[in-house]
Amino acid sequence: MILIGERINGMFKDIREGILNKDPEPIKHWAKRQYEAGAAYLDVNTGPTVEAKDQPKVMEWLVNICNDTVPIPCCVDSTNPEAIEAGCAANRHGKVMINSTHADQWKMDIFLPMAAKYNAAIIGLAMNESGVPKSAADRAALAMEIVVNADAHGIPMEDLYIDPLMLPANVAQEHGVEVLEAIRQIKALAPGVRTTLGLSNTSQRCTNRHLLNRTFLIMCMAVGLDSAIADVDDPQLVDAVAAANILLNKDIYCDSFLKTFRQK
């Protein structure tokens, strides 16, 4: 399970203030904290308060701080292609990840060549301009659009992460089972392609958020989920993932399995 830490996002007040005041401390803090908690990637998002023209510069600044602080790559998260490109160019550790393209042709035509150019991994959201599909089959169909286009650009299948998109349990409860089925179908239709999930969406504006997130993550792992963008600052979530990795025979058991999972 590849955990992508979600916390360096201008939607959060401390990160937003760090960006506005040019203060790297909150970014450093969360880079280190998420790395130590077991994150393999740091999601980096400037947030909506930064103007589009400033986003590339801010993204570069954020990625540089993360890279200077911890030895893991960034997952550059933006709807602005120029910000994404600036983040890809700045990342110095491992394989950078692009977050994300949709299944719309015009978006794939921008982001897939960019992924190829920077030898980046890329998240493909199983949605298009019509929105998030209701059924598993429609999610899988959009996923296959992205798979075919990624392949045409020579992107290795293990660098493509399809996100079948989860919606909050209190507004779209019926989507949970569809996401589970979509993961199964995507793994069956396109072996080698990876899957990921914006996990915290599961519990937006719900109570017991950690419990909902954690439970759904383990359910998804059981049907083949490879990665998640998640709140790794929740130790129980990371513990549950470490345990699931053992029970799914992904990691070899040892008594210190909670610790070894975090050391990766």
Partner 1 sequence: MAVTIAKERWTSKVNELVLGAEPNVVKVGGDATLPFLFFEGEMPNRPVVALEVLDMEPEDWPDILKAPFEGVLGDPAAWAKKNVEYGADLVCLRLVSAHPDNKNASPEECAKTAKAVADAVNVPLIIIGCGVEEKDAEIMPAVGEALAGKVALLGCATPNNYKTITAACMVNGHSIVASSPLDINLAKQLNILITEMGLAANRIAIDPLVGALGYGIEYAYSIMERARLGALTGDKMLAMPVICFVGQEAWKAKEAKASNDETPEWGDQTRRAILWEVMTAVTFAQASGAIMVMRHPESCKQFKAHIDKMMEPVKY
Q: Which residues bind partner 1 (CB under 8 A)?
A: 158, 251-256, 259-260, 263-264
Q: What pairing do the DSSP bridges indicate for beta strands 41-45 and 121-125?
A: unpaired
Min. distance of Cβ 251 from partner 1 in angstroms? Answer: 7
Min. distance of Cβ 255 from partner 1 in angstroms? Answer: 5
Per the DSSP assignment, residues forming a β-bridge with 139 are none
Nearer to partner 1, 116 or 141 (CB): 116
Nearer to partner 1, 59 or 70 (CB): 70
Q: Are 26 and 14 in contact (CB under 8 A)?
A: yes
Nearer to partner 1, 158 or 174 (CB): 158
Nearer to partner 1, 86 or 244 (CB): 244
Per the DSSP assignment, residues forming a β-bridge with 215 are none
CA distance 252 to 172: 37
Place of tokens 């908690």: 37
Min. distance of Cβ 144 from partner 1 in angstroms? Answer: 23
CA distance 264 to 262: 6
Min. distance of Cβ 192 from partner 1 in angstroms? Answer: 10
The closest alpha carbon to 121, from 166, 73, 79, 83, belongs to 73
CA distance 6 to 42: 7
Min. distance of Cβ 1 from partner 1 in angstroms? Answer: 12
Structural tokens at position 91: 């990342």
CA distance 149 to 87: 23
Q: Give me the DSSP letters along 66-124.
A: HHHH-SS-EEEE-S-HHHHHHHHHH--SS--EEEEE-S-HHHHHHHHHHHHHTT-EEEE
The closest alpha carbon to 164, from 200, 190, 138, belongs to 138
Min. distance of Cβ 260 from partner 1 in angstroms? Answer: 6
Nearer to partner 1, 235 or 253 (CB): 253
Nearer to partner 1, 219 or 246 (CB): 246
Min. distance of Cβ 50 from partner 1 in angstroms? Answer: 35
Nearer to partner 1, 61 or 261 (CB): 261
